[in-house]
Amino acid sequence: MAILEKKGYGQVEPNHLSAQRTGQIYAQTPVAADIKVLENGAFLKLDSATNTLGTTGNGEWMLVYNEVKLYDNAKQGYKDFVVRADETVGGKIYPRMFKINVGDIFTTNLIEADLTVGDQVTPTPDTDSKVGILKPVASGADPDMVFEVLKITTMPDGQPGVKVVRIK
């Protein structure tokens, strides 16, 4: 299966993210050196041994939800926003990470395609992007973090999107 077809980069619509009220928003930690492009809607976790964010380590998966910075609102939208290591000072990416609690709801287009309402997805390392992407829970697997598809919908710019809720 492929990632949901999209124009531009991953987006997040924060329908109900408790981190915005609880302050469970983390920054100041760099991503692993092999991550060169970071889209909103990706998942990363902390590797406390190296103090970097990536797909390995003992931390819980957290949602990448960087503040979108657009410089020409007439020509740009959320789909045009991405963080690239080669465009940052020192070549390192320091993302804004949201802890996702049970009951949190968001809509994203950075998710596996061909899903239906009721499907369960979990952050899964993606070999191409080097980040976690929401993909179907493998048969027989018991992941720590599980989301249920609430609705096949659209992003604010009209592109296809999927609304999910964390259930585990």
Structural domains of the chain sorted by starting position, each given as residue range(s) with its CATH number in brackets: 12-166 (2.40.300)
Q: What are phi and psi of 89, to 5 degrees?
A: -65, 125
- The DSSP bridge pattern shows strands 120-125 and 12-16 to be unpaired
Chain mean position to CA 71 = 23
* pLDDT given for residue 154 in this prediction: 95
Secondary structure tally for the chain: helices H, strands E: 1, 13
Largest distance between two CA atoms of the chain: 48
Eight-state DSSP code of residue 82: -
Mean pLDDT for the stretch of residues 60-87: 84
* pLDDT > 90? residue 138: yes
Question: Across-strand partners of 65?
Answer: none
* pLDDT given for residue 3 in this prediction: 79
Mean pLDDT for the stretch of residues 86-97: 94
The tally of CA atoms less than 13 A away on the side-chain side of residue 23 is 0
Task: Tell me whether residue 121 is exposed, middle or buried, using C-beta atoms within 10 angstroms of its C-beta: 0 to 12, 13 to 18, 19 or more.
Answer: buried
CA distance 136 to 147: 9
Q: H or E element: which one contains 22?
A: helix 19-22
Task: Tell me whether residue 82 is exposed, middle or buried, using C-beta atoms within 10 angstroms of its C-beta: 0 to 12, 13 to 18, 19 or more.
Answer: middle
* pLDDT given for residue 40 in this prediction: 96
Nearest to 31, CA basis, from 41, 49, 44, 40: 44
Average pLDDT, the chain: 93
* pLDDT > 70? residue 27: yes
Chain mean position to CA 128 = 15
- The DSSP bridge pattern shows strands 43-47 and 52-54 to be antiparallel
